[in-house]
Amino acid sequence: MCDACAHSPYQVDLEFLPQGLHDLGAKAMAEKIQGVVDRAPEGACEAILLGYGLCGNGLDGLTARHTRLVLPRAHDCIALLMGSRERYQTYFEGNPGT
């Protein structure tokens, strides 16, 4: 993700959130991420892009009040990082317990 941002023709401001948000459960995870989205000042950027997949419904109900919110179409952030659901599924099936 950092590489993609570094090569983007646009200015990209990054904010990294703790991986442990997944451990909080969907509602608490969504509340924490909503707080970060809400901190974006109006007019400061064209869009807010989240580097999360659906992640156990941890993005359910998120909204951006004044800025376009972009969510990747992925069921899980690991599938997103691996490039596709198919690649994730193949790895998961070949490596049980990971």
Q: How many helices and strands in the chain, by DSSP H and E?
A: 4, 2
| pLDDT confidence of residue 28 | 93
Statement: residue 86 has pLDDT above 80? yes
**pTM of this structure:** 0.82
Q: Provide the pLDDT confidence category of residue 8 given band limits of 50, 70 and 90.
A: very high
Q: List the domain range (segments joined by +) for residue 21.
A: 2-94
The total number of structural domains in the chain stands at 1
Provide the pLDDT for residue 62: 93
In the chain the beta strands, taken as DSSP E runs, fall at: 47-49, 68-70
Dihedral (C-alpha) 71, 73, 75, 79: value to the nearest 10 degrees? -100
pLDDT digits (tens, 9 = 90+) for 17-49: 998 898 899 999 999 999 999 999 999 999 999
